Amino acid sequence: MLIKADLHVHTIYSKDSLITPKDLIYYAKKRGLNACAVTDHNYLEGAYKIARETDFLIIPGMEVSSADGHIVALNVSELIPKGLSAIETVERIHKVGGVAIACHPYVFFKGCLKDNVCEAFDAIEVINARAFPFKNSMKKAEEAAERLKLSRVAGTDAHYGPQIGYGYTEIEVPEPTADAIAKAIVDGCCSPHGQPVPLVMNAKQQLMRIRRMVMKFSDRGN
Ligand SMILES: [Zn+2]
Ligand SMILES: [Zn+2]
């Protein structure tokens, strides 16, 4: 069967995301997805908590801030510490049965892996729907996947509900489980799809964040 999954979504367990567990499932279903990976920054427990509390297929994961750039770890059974080198991080992910994805490797900000992407990874996030510049970073990631013979995946890097599903991966699996999805990605039975998140939606996310900060601040004042 073919699964359509957004493999890069942040929830309120990441300080910079507005997505509640309820939003996650509402928007994932609305966008026609069958699964979603929860990949909060350096935090794993939230993903497992969400997975336990819903029937929707959740792939538990996290986004690790390695010393060399961000790495998405899917289906890991333990927290992967931040601050290790990219290679050490990938080794730790493999040791606990996970899938190591070089996420947004060529975007225009400091958290990207660039030349630290190597054969040790299982996959490259060829499409990151919030990547800037979108076309150029996608092209470079495609070239790296080709050169290193790595699987290609896509995700949104969503931090706001309506962004979910702009980037998604189609995965061919024998059964709809997180383990089967992880194996299929490693085996290359997947393809990246998607389009950039509209700028207006990113702007709305920033406005909502500011509103939330102001509300928190005024709550504290009362
Ligand atoms: Zn990142
Ligand atoms: Zn991210």
User: Which spans in the chain are helix H?
Assistant: 21-30, 45-52, 86-95, 134-148, 178-186, 199-221
Classified as helix, coil or strand, 6 is strand
Q: How far is the CA of 220 from the centre of ligand 2 (A)?
A: 29
Closest ligand by atom to 6 CA: 2
pLDDT for the residue numbered 102 = 98
Bridge-partner residues for 208, per DSSP?
A: none
DSSP labels, 135-159: HHHHHHHHHHHHHHT-EEEEE--BS
Q: How far is the CA of 103 from the centre of ligand 1 (A)?
A: 7
Bridge-partner residues for 35, per DSSP?
A: 5, 57
Residue 54 has pLDDT above 90, yes or no: yes
Q: For 154-183, what is the mean pLDDT?
A: 98
Continuous segment of H or E residues that includes residue 190: strand 190-194
Q: For 84-98, what is the mean pLDDT?
A: 98
pLDDT-based confidence at residue 107 (cuts at 50, 70, 90): very high
Residue 180 has pLDDT above 80, yes or no: yes
Residue 110 has pLDDT above 80, yes or no: no
Residue 39 has pLDDT above 90, yes or no: yes
- pTM for the full model? 0.95
In degrees and rounded to multiples of 5, residue 82 shows phi and psi of -85, 165
pLDDT-based confidence at residue 217 (cuts at 50, 70, 90): confident
- Spatial distance between the Cα atoms of 188 and 33, rounded to a whole number of angstroms: 20
Q: How far is the CA of 168 from the centre of ligand 1 (A)?
A: 16
